[in-house]
Every structure is written in C-alpha cells, then in structure tokens.
Amino acid sequence: MHWKRYGTIAVALIVLLGGAYAFWLGRQSAELPAGIVSSNGRIEAERIDVAAKLPGRIAEVRVSEGQWVEAGDLVAHMDTAEIDAQLRQAQAAVTQAEQQKLQTEALLNQRLSEQEFAQAEFARAEQLAAKGHVPQELVDQRRATLITADAGVAAARAGIDLATATIASAEATVERLQSIRADAELVAPHRGRVQYVLAKAGEVVGAGGRVVTLTDLTDIYMTIFLPARDAGLLAIGAEARIVLDPIPDYVVPAQVTFVASSAQFTPKSVETADERDQLMFRVKLTIPADLLEEYQQQAKAGVAGVGYVRVDDTVDWPDALQVKLPQ
C-alpha cells in the first residue's frame, strides 16, 4: 500500500508545481504589454565535431575540455607510421622514374646521332651507286641501317613518354598519400571552446570517429516555444530580448531567426480555439555575432532564462526590457 501513498503524493506535487508554474506564467504575461510575449528557454550553441577521416590509432590529443581554440589549431593527430613509410616509398618511386627519364633522354640523343650518321651513309651510298662506284647491295644495307636507326629514335621517344607518365603517376601517389597524411592532423575547423574530449591517446577510432567536440560561440541562440496565436504573428528578423537566470539584471538583445513551419506538439484532434492554442511552435532567438565577439569569454551554452519577442513592432519595449549589458 506504500506505493499507492507515494503515488498520491507524487501526483499532488505535480499538480502543485504545475499550478505554481501556470501562476508564474500568468503573472509574467500580465506584466508584459500587449504585443510582447515570453517563454522559458535555454542558451544553445552550434556544436562542431572534429572526427577522424580514416580509421587509425590516436597518437596525441592536444586540447582539454574548456580550452579555447582558433580555426586551424591542432586538436589531435593520428598515428602516421604506416602512411609515412608509404609516402617515403612513393617519393622514392618518383626519383626512380625521374632517373629513368634521364636515361631514356640520353638514349634518345644516342639514337638521334646514329640516325644522323645512317642518313649520311645512305645518302653517300646512293650517290656512289648512281655513278656506278658501289654495288646496289651496299645501298640496300645502308637503307636497312637507316630504317633501324629511325626505329631506335621512335622507341627512345616512346620511352620518354612512358617515363613522363610514370613520373606523373608516382607524383599523384605522393599527393594522395600527402593528403592522407594531412588528414591525420585533426585541426579545428572553426574557432570555439572545447566542449568534450571524446577519445584519448592510444585509442583506435573508425572512419568518422569523433575525437573532440567544439562549441561555436559565434552562433549562440535561445530556443523557446510559443503558442500558435503568437507564433503566427512573428516575422523573421523581429526584435527579441533574453534575460538569463544567473544575470537577471541584464537584458541581452536578440533577433528571431527561425520559426518552425509545423507545431512541435499537436493534440489528437484540433477542433476548438482553445485546442489550437495548445499548438506550440519552436522559435529561435539568435544573439548578434558582434556582441558574442565582445563577450566570448562569458558566453556559454546551457544557461536557462526567459526569451521575450515582440509580435507587434509598433509596441515599445518596457523599461525592464531595455538592453542592458555588463560593462
């Protein structure tokens, strides 16, 4: 029977807390002028995962949670012993191909010299044969020698083309391995604060395995939920205000940058006006980037507060919601 008693107490607490929350919301709404509405929310920031492109072992993690990093800073790097060996092998292949090309070029020069001599000998033999000083057989021999020399030149030129293609292939392999080697250096794609270190040195991660999560403190916003009657009046770009629980004396300016196109909560049937009011739409209030730049050391995600939006731009903000920032 104890569980029944505890259940009754739990239900009573829920009802009590719900009533208190409803009273608080009603009081907040009553204090706001018509045209300005509010809702609870929590500061959020875009997260950026720094992940391994290829599977491998983590050699070192260079950051710790809470650390500020700039774009391009080294966050961690993977073990590269195997890829370094492959890269050295590919670079040696490039050198070998270049030497082969030099040898083929030297061979071509030799074949060109032989061709030139064969041409001269053939021309001389033809002249002498025309005067009857040498037999036709010698002319035929000189012609065969020239044909052989021409073939040698063609083969040497083809060898140069082959050597050039071999160099290009070897250099492409080097570039591919250098790209893989570069991917082993995990760098921050954007400035921000390290939110989580998800892997340690010595761990093996798969392709796409997350190593570090960054918080982009240049894109901070509060998500609130408004009923359909208020969300329907909102325009993208409408002015907003944010008051955070830890610093209730300050009012942070913001802007409506997103209004959901569909309700986040929909009753089973929507037939009356009261039921339509239960439709809640997600709204995003974004803090200006220049303000975040100025207060980047104080900015952090997860802080709860209240978001205020102006659904009627002809209404002035009350004194309590005039922008007020820490000095």
pLDDT interval class at 265 (50, 70, 90): low
pLDDT value of position 174: 95
pLDDT value of position 199: 92
pTM over 0.75: no
* Helices vs strands, H then E, count in the chain: 6, 12
DSSP code of 36? Answer: E
Q: Rounded CA gap, 200 and 297, in Å?
A: 26
**How confident is the model over 75-134, as pLDDT tens digits?**
999 999 999 999 999 999 999 999 999 998 898 889 888 888 889 888 888 888 888 888
pLDDT value of position 156: 87
Whether residue 216 contacts residue 230, with contact meaning beta carbons closer than 8 Å, is answered with no
Q: Rounded CA gap, 282 and 307, in Å?
A: 12
Q: Rounded CA gap, 93 and 284, in Å?
A: 56
DSSP code of 265? Answer: B
DSSP secondary structure of 140-155: HHHHHHHHHHHHHHHH
pLDDT value of position 274: 54
pLDDT value of position 203: 93
pLDDT value of position 115: 87
Whether residue 198 contacts residue 58, with contact meaning beta carbons closer than 8 Å, is answered with no
Phi, then psi, of 40 in degrees rounded to 5: -70, 150
pLDDT above 60 (res 18): no
- Tokens representing residue 16 in the block: 């009590």
